[in-house]
Homo-oligomer: A and B are copies of this chain.
Amino acid sequence: MKKTALIMAGGRGERFWPRSRKNLPKQFLSLTEDGKTMIQLSVERLLPIVEIEDIYVATNRDYLTLVKEQLPELPEENIFCEPVGRNTAPCIALSLAHISKKYDDAVMMVLPSDHLVKYSSLYLTTLQDACEVAEEGPNLVTIGITPDYPETGYGYIKFVNKLDKSKGRAFPVESFAEKPDLEKAKEYLASDDYLWNSGMFLWKISTILSCYQEFLPEIYQGMEKIRNAVGTDAENAVLDEVFPKLPSISIDYGIMERADNIYTIPGTFGWDDVGSWLALERIKRSNEFGNIVDGNIVTIDTKNCIIQGTDKLIATVGLEDLVIVDTKDATLICDRDHTADIKKVLENLKICNRNEYL
């Protein structure tokens, strides 16, 4: 069966401020040494198993130009733009309105645009295994990540960790768990029955359409209206009319947590959601003093710092455990244990109506 992929690229994260901005979110940034942006890497690593014509990008209208610029080889009609942000279930439905017209049926992978994968071939093997499970029945497959440590920032997947219940490398999912507190996260890690929810899903188009019909009928009907308008003069008008009224709900909550036949394949392909500036320590090489340094930098007695500069000289003296990020109009200096508070800077700027920096 044909393999298709939908890359979700509508996110508006603030964690890479000041590099990321409202008009340039993380998926459009280059954070790796190869100079490619996250979305470029997300598409590129799929190409051995999915043809470019079968790769789709869901984003919002603000980012259409960026997507076209960064993915010039992607057919323009493969980019779907939400008129407004409405969480993942409506977004995937909008994409289905288009994709389902093009194929009798096909396997559809839903993948993030702003995560990194270290071992591409293991990643592709995992996706291929998942495609097989998705293809052989009305199964919803999710890629779970084997946890390394008790992360409290991710949702978890509780799975039936028994070989006799498995479909090859896929295991039945028992339930989904919200982001836990630290104690619970430690329990999950110790139990061997939990995986991180990576937000990667695979199913047949026919399977997920049935699920929308059953669990999210309102969204399904909206999608049908949009689907009927696709390719007609009324397409945009119908989209603008119907889409904003759809309930804002995630695919996890709307379908995955309610449906049967959910399987997970544990992935061990060096996944990284690149959740903050500290992720650079996993992505980039540090120097002998533990510093990750890019740009025009002079460091004196400086240890374990992440310094991302530009052409402008940054000189550091006697520093430890800081994140320093320079851009043309703004410089961030942040203690490494406080990266979660970068959003407070943005809140402050919003309150002061200094939108040029958001």
Contacts and interface: CB of A to CB of B under 8 A. Distances in A.
A212 B298 CA distance: 46
B333 A18 contact: no
A349 interface: yes
A318 interface: yes
A335 B317 contact: yes
A329 B313 contact: yes
A35 B140 CA distance: 68
A50 interface: no
Interface in A277-335: 298, 300-301, 312-319, 322, 324, 326, 329-335
Given A301-B338, A318-B337, A338-B301, A331 B345 contact: no
Contact of A313 (B317, B331, B335, B341): B331
A317 B300 contact: no
24 contacts: A18-B313, A298-B348, A300-B345, A300-B348, A312-B329, A313-B329, A313-B330, A313-B331, A313-B354, A313-B357, A314-B331, A314-B333, A315-B330, A315-B331, A315-B345, A316-B333, A317-B334, A317-B339, A317-B344, A318-B334, A319-B333, A322-B333, A326-B331, A333-B333
A352 to B, nearest CB: 8
Interface residues of A, number: 33
Contacts of A330: 312-315
A331 B296 CA distance: 10
Contacts of A342: 315, 317
Given A313-B329, A330-B315, A331-B313, A345 B18 contact: no
Interface in A1-36: 18
Given A300-B345, A301-B338, A341-B300, A317 B333 contact: yes
A341 B317 contact: yes
Given A301-B344, A318-B341, 19 more contacts: A300-B344, A300-B348, A312-B329, A312-B330, A313-B354, A313-B357, A314-B333, A315-B334, A316-B332, A316-B333, A317-B333, A317-B335, A317-B338, A317-B342, A319-B334, A322-B333, A326-B331, A331-B331, A333-B333
Contacts of A318: 334-335, 337-338, 341
A93 to B, nearest CB: 38
The 8 closest A-B pairs by CB, nearest first: A318-B338, A318-B335, A317-B334, A313-B330, A315-B345, A300-B344, A317-B338, A316-B333
